[in-house]
Amino acid sequence: EAQVTQNPRYLITVTGKKLTVTCSQNMNHEYMSWYRQDPGLGLRQIYYSMNVEVTDKGDVPEGYKVSRKEKRNFPLILESPSPNQTSLYFCASSLSPLAGGLYEQYFGPGTRLTVT
């Protein structure tokens, strides 16, 4: 079954404690991205990756890191989480972000992160 998986699905942590949210897709997609969703703000892109070893900042990259060592995995790293990073996070993948974006994105189930 084609899917994007994220782990953990729920996480409560404390300020400053490094954490990683994993994302994996089994569709051989080139393109992967991370979003955060906050009430009233919709989904905002954090980072994206066009292919292995190619990553770039989205609209709200501050406080996050990513890596793309393998095509299927795209982990999101919070080196020193703060309460304003409490949010719902989605990982997504698609075939290729051609100009205009002609391919559907597949989303993971989401990760609810609370930073106290």
Partner 1 sequence: AQKITQTQPGMFVQEKEAVTLDCTYDTSDPSYGLFWYKQPSSGEMIFLIYQGSYDQQNATEGRYSLNFQKARKSANLVISASQLGDSAMYFCVRGKLIFGQGTTLQVKP
Q: Applying CB under 8 A, which residues contact partner 1?
A: 33, 35, 40-45, 48, 88, 90, 92, 97-107, 109-110, 112
For the bound state, the minimum distance from the C-beta of residue 64 to partner 1, rounded and expressed in Å, comes to 16
For the bound state, the minimum distance from the C-beta of residue 98 to partner 1, rounded and expressed in Å, comes to 8
Distance CA 36, CA 29 (A): 21
Distance CA 27, CA 50 (A): 15
Nearer to partner 1, 61 or 97 (CB): 97
Nearer to partner 1, 10 or 69 (CB): 10
For the bound state, the minimum distance from the C-beta of residue 35 to partner 1, rounded and expressed in Å, comes to 8
Strands 111-115 and 10-13: parallel
> How deeply is 102 buried, as exposed, middle or buried, from its count of CB atoms within 10 A (0-12, 13-18, 19+)?
exposed
